[in-house]
Every structure is written in C-alpha cells, then in structure tokens.
Amino acid sequence: MAVLHLPTLILFCVLFPYFSFAAASLDLCPLNASELIGNTNVTWGSVLNITIREIGGSSYLRPDIGGALLPYVYTIIVIIIHLPVVIIRVVRWQKVQTWSLAATVMTLAVTIQGYASTSFSPERVLTWTPLLLIIDAGSMAQVLFLIIEDRKLLSRLRHALRSSRKTEDVVLLSAAPAEQPYGAHWNYPGKGVDEITQVQEIRNFQESREGFVSDADSPEETPILRDDSFYVAILAFLLLVTVVVLQILGLDRAIRGVRGSTPSVSWCCPIFQPFGIAVLDGNCDIYPIDQNFVKGVGCIVIPGVRQMSWLKATAAGTALGLILEVVDICLLSFVHTKTRWHGMKMRRPWGTMFGGLTVLGMILVYGIIYSSTLPPGISEKIWVVQNADEPTLWAGELTAAGLRGAMIGWNDGIFSAWGTAYYGSSMPQ
C-alpha cells in the first residue's frame, strides 16, 4: 500500500511550496493601527474601522513583463517539431538537414531576442533561460560531422589546397623561355651542378607537372566550392559555435543570479486598479500597489521563489548540457560509422537528443503548473485598500491567469526590446 501512495507523496513534496495557507479574516493579522499605508496618509486604523466590501467573483493574477515560462502551447509546438526530427536523425539524418537548420535558427533568434529584451535580469530568467539550446547543439554537431564524412569534405579540401599549390608551381615552370628550356641562361633548380643532376632536376619538374594534370580530375568530379554540402557544413559549424557562445553567456549570468539574493518579481491584477494603494493577503503580508494606467492593471512585487529555482536549474542544466555536447562531439569524431548497439547506430548525438527532449518535457510540465497556480508568497484570499475620495477596503480572491497570462508575460518579455513597434504608442514605462 505504501508503494501505491509513493507517487502521490512525491507529487505533494514537489508542489508543496505552491500551496498557500491563508488567514480567513483580518482579525488574524497583527496590523499596526497607526501605520501609514504606502505613500499615503491613510492608516490601517482608519481602514479597519470601515465596512469591508466584497468583490463579485475572483480575478486573475498574471506575471508582468518577462515573468512567465515558455507557454505550454508553444512548448507543445516545439515538441511536435523536434520529436519526429530526432527520430529521423537516428535512422536517416540526410532527410532532415533543412529542418534541423531551420529549427536551430528559430531557437537562436528567440534566445538572442530574449537576451536583448531582458538584459539577463534574474527576475526574468523564465524568459531568457538558454536550456532550449541543448537539443540544437547536438543537431548542428551531427549535421556538421556526418556531412564531412559523407561528402569527404576534409580530404577534398586538402586536395583543393594541394592542387592550388601545384598550380603555382606549373605557372612558374611555364614562365621559362620556350626556345631554351634547358639552356645555360635558364635559372632552373640545381644550376651549377653536373649535367646528370641537371637532367634529373628537370625530369622531376616535368613529372610534377604531369602529376598535377593527372590529379586534377581524379578524386571528386564536383569541385568543393561548387558543392552545396560544403556551405551547409560551414553554416552548421557557425550555428554550433553561436549556440555554445549563447549557452556560456547564459550560464555565466545564471551563476551570478544564484549568488545574489532572491529576486523580486512583479505580478499584476485588474482589481488592484483603479486607486488601489496596497494589498493584504491571507499570509498577513502587505504589498504596495504600483499603478500603471497604460497597462490597465495594478502590480505588486513579491519574492521570486520560482525565479531563484530556475536560476539554479539554468546553471546546473546548462553546465550539464555543455558536458553532453562534448561527449556527443567525441562520439561523432571517434566512433566508427558502422558501430551499432542492439541494431542502433552509435554515431549519433545521443546525450543532447535525450537531454534536449527531457528539457522540453520539463518546460512543458512546469509551464502547465505555473499557469494554473498562484506564485509562492501570496494567498488566494486578499484585501485591497483603495483611496479615492475616501479609503475603501475590498475583499476578493485571486486565481491563476492561465495560458493567456503566461502568453502575455512571456511575449512581453521576449519583445519588449522592440519598444513602440511591439507596444504601440502607449508603451509602458
């Protein structure tokens, strides 16, 4: 029986930080009646003496700019693209080169845009985390190494360079006067030695010229500079280098974030506006409201428990991803192309393929959890203090913002660097 309940116990332990145990009444909160609320002249004593009004229904609490993980609908689309590509890469990698290149370019574009928009802010790590790059690093390494082997690019490149040097030798040889090929006035190698040696030197030059002519057409019919696969390999190499550089940058900033204090994260709700000045939750925590009339919501700042967890996950996951990439590059470099294990080709980037799919699965699960639960640090039961003509106290309930809230937070985080092109003329400050 204990075994049957083990998954439930594990799930409870994982989700325990996200449960809130709230006070049901203001009487349970030790408020100082003379304390001023925010930057106003309203005290808690004046608020507690008025009748509490009820807000009809609940209202959502959504993450502010850059405070959301990749929305799970987007993650599902990414998995739908990557999963069949990974399977095909195992058996017939040549068929998905274009897909692999396109997927990597798209991931790089989103990652670079996220870096630029968030400036690596610790409170926005859910938006800029580079964990998605792991699967693309393995993809580009596979395209690069297998194209080099399949098209014999290294040997052809060496041959092209050797042929270029022979061409220079032939040009120098042809520059000698035709009417005196072996005369005393021609400065051939070995001039000044005996006649037999002179003849042998001239024959060596002739043989090298004949050898160049015969070699020019031998190994490959298509010159390497006219072979499309040569440029595909160059593109794959450049993309692989870009992926690794972005991972190292993200790893460095994640480590810096872990060494700092827990970031403060902004969360917004429609009932915090208009004229809201403070929120008191069931944990007896007080949060001043930042009014933003452009957004149409009021926002509060709470501890970023999730963000700190993801800073640690980004640091550990990216470091592990770089290790897997090195292992995969060694596999692609040294394992023979015909080596198999239980019928499976071993010369594949297995570490990054499984690691990348694991990351996608993890982001999908946490994306669903985050969009359907309130963040740690605030309860469902809240009281909102407003100050228009006179202080007013409202009692209400908060719910998770769902997929829409996650999409707003993530999209705003990714595209905030576009300024008015994204927000329009009423850009939030």
Which range (115-129, 153-167, 268-282) has the least confidence?
153-167
Indicate the burial class of 218 (C-beta count within 10 angstroms; 0-12, 13-18, 19 or more): exposed
CA distance 360 to 83: 10
The model's confidence at residue 49, banded by pLDDT at 50, 70 and 90, is confident
Which amino acid is residue 293, in one-letter code? F
Backbone angles phi, psi at 185, to 5 degrees: -90, -5
pLDDT at res. 301? 95
Which pLDDT value is given to residue 413?
A: 95
Cβ neighbours of 326 (radius 10 Å): 13
Q: What is the DSSP letter of 36?
A: B
- Segment 38-43 shows an average pLDDT of 81
On the 0-12 / 13-18 / 19+ scale of CB atoms within 10 A, 305 is middle
Query: Distance between CA 136 and CA 246 in Å, rounded?
Result: 12
Whether the per-residue pLDDT at 426 is higher than 50: the answer is yes
Residue range 365-394: average pLDDT? 91
Which residue type is seen at 208? S
Please state the rounded mean pLDDT for residues 205-223. Answer: 49
- Is the predicted pLDDT of residue 162 greater than 80, yes or no? no
Asked if 365 and 14 count as a contact pair (C-beta separation under 8 A), the reply is no
- Model confidence over 409-420: pLDDT tens digits? 999 999 999 988
User: What is the rounded average pLDDT of the residues 47-72?
Assistant: 89
Q: What is the pLDDT of residue 193?
A: 52
For the chain, give the mean pLDDT: 81
Query: 237, exposed or middle or buried, with CB in 10 Å at 0-12, 13-18, 19+?
Result: middle
Q: How many CA atoms lie within 13 A of 305 on its CB side?
A: 12
pLDDT at position 198 is 55
* Residues 53 and 395 sit within 8 Å (Cβ to Cβ): yes
Per cent of the chain over pLDDT 90 is 45
Asked if omega into 274 is within 30° of 0 (cis), the reply is yes
Average pLDDT over residues 400-405: 94
Burial grade of 429 (CB within 10 A; 0-12, 13-18, 19 or more): exposed
**113-139 confidence digits (pLDDT tens):** 999 999 999 999 999 999 999 999 999
Please tell me the least confidently modeled range out of 111-115, 183-187, 214-218, 357-361.
214-218
pLDDT > 70 fraction of the chain, expressed in percent and rounded? 73
What pLDDT score was predicted for residue 253?
Answer: 97
- Choose between 286 and 25: higher pLDDT: 286
When pLDDT is averaged across residues 198-206 and rounded to a whole number, the result is 56
Q: For the purposes of burial, counting CB atoms within 10 Å of the CB of 82, is it exposed (0-12), middle (13-18) or buried (19 or more)? A: buried
Q: What is the pLDDT of residue 167?
A: 52
What is the pLDDT, as a whole number, of residue 20?
A: 44
The secondary structure of 88-120 as a DSSP string is HHHH-GGGGHHHHHHHHHHHHHHHHHHHHHHTT
Model pLDDT, residue 228? 79
Q: Which residue has the higher pLDDT, 387 or 159?
A: 387
pLDDT at position 348 is: 83
- Range 169-196 average pLDDT: 49
pLDDT of 99 above 70: yes
pLDDT at 400: 95
pLDDT at 291 exceeding the cut of 70: yes
C-alpha angle 357-361-362 in degrees, rounded to nearest 5: 115
